[in-house]
Amino acid sequence: MELRPLRALVEVVRQGGFSQAAKVIYATQPTVSKAVRQLEDELGMPLLDRHAQPMQLTAAGEIVYRRALAMLAERDDLIAELDDLKGLKRGVLRLGLPPLGSSSLFAPMFARFRSRYPRIEISLVEHGSRRLEEMVMAGEIELAASLRPVPDNFEWQPVAREPLVALMPADHPQARAESVDLDDLRESPFILFETGFALNRIIQDACQRAGFAPTIAARSGQIDFIVALVAAGLGVAFLPRIKANEELHAGVARVPLRDPGTDWEMVLVWRRGGYLSHAAQAWLALNREVHRPRA
């Protein structure tokens, strides 16, 4: 089985259609369509339901898509490892960071890394943690920052651990409390991050343990907008302490959350058993140096 048709199928799924996939892999739409059709003929079963809106993977397509991601990632590992063996260092670190907390934790690292390795280019993407984990598994990036717990198919290295802080309107009944439980806030609407942010899972799992499902008033990927919504009285939001301390607003009270199991633990993850370039290993070494575990 050739890898090119598998790459075509993967991009059709990622991009949501043949025309969009063709642009990504620099081919024509008929070429991409033919490659997927040939793959279906080779396997003897349809992989895409072309009549669904939007187009969907069949049950066989789900299996092939999952395996194709792993095969393509292994190919990228093979090329990178052989390049290192031959001394053809690409000098690129493919890194993924989430918007939440990265400026505080990683911005100083960028400057130090650049001074030590001026010829290494950092190719940075920013998404929520769940999307970044998908990109690591697909071989699109080598390292990503995510939150614990992480799936078993990743190895990880700690970065930081912070308690969560509840942000609430200044006139909220709990605004002057020294700390709060989520149960104290069950009657308040919650303002969460967009789907794909791992912080949402921490909050929702803790609410489930407390015996309630929160009412979600809004979602956003922008921290400053979430803080503005809190100040406007729309509901309660949550940030790790390191970030909450930066978000000062006259109309917002910040109260520590005391529920067990709600600490925000950022880690760097990479594919278990996957090859790491010298650039990625250097980034991990610097992270160990900068973010030493607290005694």
Provide DSSP, 26-76.
T--HHHHHHHHHHHHHHHTS--EETTSSS-EE-HHHHHHHHHHHHHHHHHH
Residue 155: closest CA among 12, 273, 16: 273
CA dihedral of residues 7, 13, 15, 17 (deg, nearest 10): 100
Kindly report, residue by residue over 59-72, the tens digit of the pLDDT: 999 999 999 998 88
> pTM for the whole thing?
0.66
Is residue 93 within 8 A of residue 142, CB to CB? The reply is yes
Is residue 251 within 8 A of residue 231, CB to CB? The reply is yes
- Say whether both 176 and 247 belong to one domain: yes
Residue 156: closest CA among 137, 143, 171: 143
* Residue 101 backbone phi and psi in degrees, to 5: 90, -15
3-class state of residue 152 by DSSP: coil
* Greatest pairwise CA separation for the chain in angstroms: 67
Dist CA 215 CA 119 (whole Å):
49
Q: Which residue has the higher pLDDT, 51 or 187?
A: 187
Q: How many separate domains does the chain show? A: 3
- Report the CATH number that the domain containing residue 241 is assigned in CATH: 3.40.190.10
Kindly report, residue by residue over 109-144, the tens digit of the pLDDT: 999 988 888 878 889 999 888 899 999 998 899 999
Flag whether 76 is in a domain: no
Kindly report, residue by residue over 166-210, the tens digit of the pLDDT: 999 999 999 999 999 999 999 999 999 988 788 998 999 999 999
- Say whether both 143 and 175 belong to one domain: no
Q: Which domain holds residue 59?
A: 3-68
In this predicted structure, what is the pLDDT of residue 179?
Answer: 95
Cα dihedral across residues 63, 66, 67, 72: positive or negative: positive
- Say whether both 195 and 227 belong to one domain: yes
Q: Taking residues 275-295, what's their average pLDDT?
A: 84
- Is the model's pLDDT at 82 over the cut of 90? no
Dist CA 105 CA 41 (whole Å):
50
Kindly report, residue by residue over 246-278, the tens digit of the pLDDT: 877 889 999 999 999 999 999 999 999 888 888
- Say whether both 52 and 194 belong to one domain: no
- Say whether both 170 and 237 belong to one domain: yes
- Say whether both 168 and 203 belong to one domain: yes
